[in-house]
């Protein structure tokens, strides 16, 4: 499996906080960005298997949308323990957004990886969630993956943020009331792109939609049998929802593609009230509130990059 490594630009946390604060203020009525100690992520509402998102930070993009459409490529299945070795960080804590492991579940789904991978010193822990379309009524069904499988699979495409899972300094971002057109993640990403230009900066972590609602999608349980060849066809195939705070999101983004055919941002979320999926944007700008913790990635890995590519289905 091909794997390319790229060194990202890593500004200091203080500089990043200053840059992000300026950009977010253009899109939100209130924005406060600071450098803080990462809150203990083993505690509620996160309940992750590790305390933080610090130490040897990496972003990995695995596969891509071309393996999902026009038609699915069922050979594209992956294992997060193997990915942790590919990115030279066995034992990594991995979070992010991808397609659920259809190879074990038997159907297609949205995947929210939250995994401490295996190492010489520790057993792997799979705290992932997946969301699927309820076959009975078209609603959302969110489940913990560990209730279904004991493997560490994922499939087709994944945008992952990996670290040693250590406590440490992170960037805290708190914004309220959206006044601009950009969603929370796009605003942060474009702010970095504007400031750092051709030097790609990558970030990942977690944020909570504390108030308001978001537009989300979930892929159907069955892959499309007719080829999907445009955004219009993809949107007709997907199921769209409005989901309600509090929502726990797993963002991964890179400010600029250094030529690796990246999906520049991808955010999935879960909740403790049965909702989860792929984040598009909030639908309640007047009352939305976000609180997040982010860490810049040092390295970027492009794993099993599709040779034939296209630009639809990436929103």
Stretch that binds Zn ion, among 18-26, 220-228, 233-241, 273-281 (CB under 5 A): 273-281
- What CA–CA distance (Å, rounded) separates 174 from 92? 27
Stretch that binds Zn ion, among 10-18, 73-81, 271-279, 302-310 (CB under 5 A): 271-279
- Sequence-distant (6+) residues with CB within 8 A of 142 are 129, 130, 131, 270, 271, 274, 275, 276
Q: The tokens of 69 are what?
A: 């459409």
Is the Cβ–Cβ distance between 170 and 264 less than 8 Å? no
Q: Which is nearer to Zn ion, 92 or 97 (CB)?
A: 97
Binding residues with Zn ion: total (CB under 5 A):
2
Q: How far is the CB of 85 from Zn ion (least distance, A)?
A: 25
Over the window 174 to 203, marking each residue x when it contacts Zn ion by CB under 5 A and - when it does not, the resulting string is: ------------------------------
- What CA–CA distance (Å, rounded) separates 35 from 33? 7
Q: How far is the CB of 37 from Zn ion (least distance, A)?
A: 30
Q: Which long-range contacts (CB under 8 A, 24 or more apart) does 146-149 make?
A: 148/104, 148/105, 149/101, 149/104, 149/105
Q: How far is the CB of 224 from Zn ion (least distance, A)?
A: 16
Q: Which is nearer to Zn ion, 97 or 155 (CB)?
A: 97
Cβ count near 71 (within 10 Å): 14
Hey, which residues between 62 and 101 contact Zn ion (CB under 5 A)? 97
256 binds Zn ion (CB under 5 A): no
Q: The tokens of 162 are what?
A: 């990996």
Place of tokens 């794997």: 3
Q: Which is nearer to Zn ion, 97 or 115 (CB)?
A: 97
278 binds Zn ion (CB under 5 A): yes
Closest C-alpha to 94, from 132, 43, 57: 57
263 binds Zn ion (CB under 5 A): no
Q: How far is the CB of 168 from Zn ion (least distance, A)?
A: 28
Determine the residue with CB nearest Zn ion.
278
Distances (CA, A) of 216 to 53, 131, 235, 241, 247: 25, 11, 12, 5, 11
Cβ count near 81 (within 10 Å): 21
Q: How far is the CB of 89 from Zn ion (least distance, A)?
A: 23
Q: How far is the CB of 215 from Zn ion (least distance, A)?
A: 13
132 binds Zn ion (CB under 5 A): no
Hey, which residues between 97 and 116 contact Zn ion (CB under 5 A)? 97
Q: How far is the CB of 277 from Zn ion (least distance, A)?
A: 8
Residue ranges in contact with Zn ion by CB under 5 A: 97, 278
């Amino acid at each position: 499996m091909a794997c390319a490594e790229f060194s990202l630009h890593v500004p200091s946390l203080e500089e990043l906080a200053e840059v992000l604060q300026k950009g977010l203020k253009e899109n939100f009525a209130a924005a406060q960005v600071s450098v803080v100690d990462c809150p203990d992520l083993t505690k509620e509402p996160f309940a992750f298997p590790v305390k933080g998102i610090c130490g040897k930070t990496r972003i990995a993009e695995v596969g891509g949308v071309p393996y999902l459409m026009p038609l699915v490529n069922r050979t594209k299945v992956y294992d997060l323990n193997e990915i942790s070795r590919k990115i030279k960080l066995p034992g990594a804590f991995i979070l992010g957004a991808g397609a659920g492991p259809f190879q074990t579940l038997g159907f297609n789904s949205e995947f929210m990886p939250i995994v401490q991978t295996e190492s010489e010193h520790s057993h792997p822990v799979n705290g992932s969630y997946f969301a699927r379309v309820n076959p009975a009524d078209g609603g959302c069904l969110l489940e913990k993956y560990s209730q279904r499988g004991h493997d560490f699979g994922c499939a087709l495409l994944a945008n992952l943020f990996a670290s040693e899972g250590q406590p440490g300094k992170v960037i805290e971002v708190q914004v309220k009331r959206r006044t601009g057109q950009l969603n929370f993640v796009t605003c942060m990403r474009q702010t970095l792109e504007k400031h750092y230009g051709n030097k790609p900066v990558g970030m990942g972590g977690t944020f909570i939609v504390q108030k308001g609602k978001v537009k989300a999608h979930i892929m159907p349980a069955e892959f499309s049998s007719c080829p999907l060849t445009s955004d219009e066809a993809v949107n007709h195939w997907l199921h769209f929802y409005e989901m309600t705070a509090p929502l726990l999101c797993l963002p991964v983004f890179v400010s600029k593609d250094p030529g690796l055919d990246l999906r520049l941002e991808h955010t999935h979320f879960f909740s403790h009230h049965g909702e989860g999926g792929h984040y598009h944007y909030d639908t309640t700008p007047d009352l939305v509130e976000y609180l997040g913790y982010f860490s810049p990635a040092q390295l970027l890995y492009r794993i099993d990059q599709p040779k034939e590519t296209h630009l639809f289905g990436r929103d």
